[in-house]
Amino acid sequence: MEDNRAEQILKSFNPNFIIKDWCNTMVISAEEIELFKFYNKEVSLGNQKVALKDVIGTTHSSYNRKGPFSEPCTWIEFIGRLKRFKEGYYTADEFIKYFNSEKFYKNHNSEPIFYSKYGDKYIIDGGGNHRTVQAKFCDIEYIIAKVEEWILDKEMLEIYEKLQVERLFPKIGGEIKGKDVYRYERQDNWELKIGGNHFMFFNYEAIKNFIELYDKTYINLIDIWYMSTFLRNSQTNNVKIENVTIQEDGTFSEEKQLKRAIKIHKFLNRRNLSEIKTANSAMS
């Protein structure tokens, strides 16, 4: 039903427009960008010439599927939700004439179009929903917008993925208390499950130091004997939380305890003894 209404509005706006594949793709929110939570640093690029084919969504909750009162919509359905389309502010010919005039760019200075950039894609972020959609459905290829680029924190992502692979179940920031997290920030706390206990790391540097300690902590033959005898048939899944602090020299004040937890974790998370990397094999 919404499709038919939107197509009628589009036909009234631009009777010569030919519907393309992108018209039926979903308008997404910023949070739906892949790896969104790891984009945690913002850089202002000022006015940029942006290809409209790369504009894939909006932060406006009335138009994307993240809004509390909105349903998901495609770009063609987007038309039916925009006041200027519904009330016939412009025809396509009138908009193109306006778009190519000095007035459009003067208005841009007082009421800018704002985009957020993630990788090579853009999200409408503030002013510009109507102008962007009108331009798209006039087959205009490029538009000038003020762009804020979000930078993917590749190092944090790499560490997070390593912790996942090692089954250390990382939680960051509000996730520790069961809350939803918008972005992962470097100043956030981290929680890891190591050897059955939960350890809290109070900043990103502590996590990087932990990775270094984790990689150089191996299981020797005495460890294997001890854990085979006492741990294989026991449950170590308690909920005790240990707070981890870094000393001035960069080491952990709880390093002995951490090493023991790492050895238990590595032992319990290997399928059999042949998968355990011992100190002897690591040095050979």
The whole-number average pLDDT for the span 215-241 is: 67
| 94-146 confidence digits (pLDDT tens) | 999 999 988 887 776 678 899 999 999 999 998 889 899 999 999 999 999 99
Contact 221, 273 (CB under 8 A): no
User: Parallel, antiparallel, or unpaired: how do β-strands 55-58 and 142-152 relate?
Assistant: unpaired
pLDDT at position 263, please? Answer: 87
Reported confidence tier of residue 197, pLDDT bands at 50, 70, 90: confident
Per-residue pLDDT at 147 exceeds 90: yes
| 12-40 confidence digits (pLDDT tens) | 889 999 999 999 999 999 999 999 999 99
Contact 182, 33 (CB under 8 A): no
SS (H, E, C) the chain: CHHHHHHHHHHHHCCCCCCCHHHHCECECHHHCCCHHHEEEEEEEEEEEEEHHHEEEECCCCCCCCCCCCCCCEHHHHHCCCHHHHCCCCCHHHHHHHHCCHHHHHHHHHCCCEEEEECCEEEECCCCHHHHHHHHCCCCCEEEEEEEEEEECHHHHHHHHHHHHCCCCCEEHHHHHCCCCCCCCCCCCEEEEECCEEEEECCHHHHHHHHHHHHHCCECHHHHHHHHHHCCCCCCCCCCEEEECECCCCCECCHHHHHHHHHHHHHHCCCCHHHCCEHHHHHC
Contact 99, 92 (CB under 8 A): no
pLDDT at position 64, please? Answer: 66
Whole-model pTM? 0.81
The whole-number average pLDDT for the span 218-225 is: 76
Per-residue pLDDT at 279 exceeds 50: no
| 167-188 confidence digits (pLDDT tens) | 999 999 999 888 888 899 999 9
Strand partners, 171: 191
> Tokens in use for 103?
């007035």
Pairwise pLDDT comparison (165 vs 241), residue with the higher score: 165
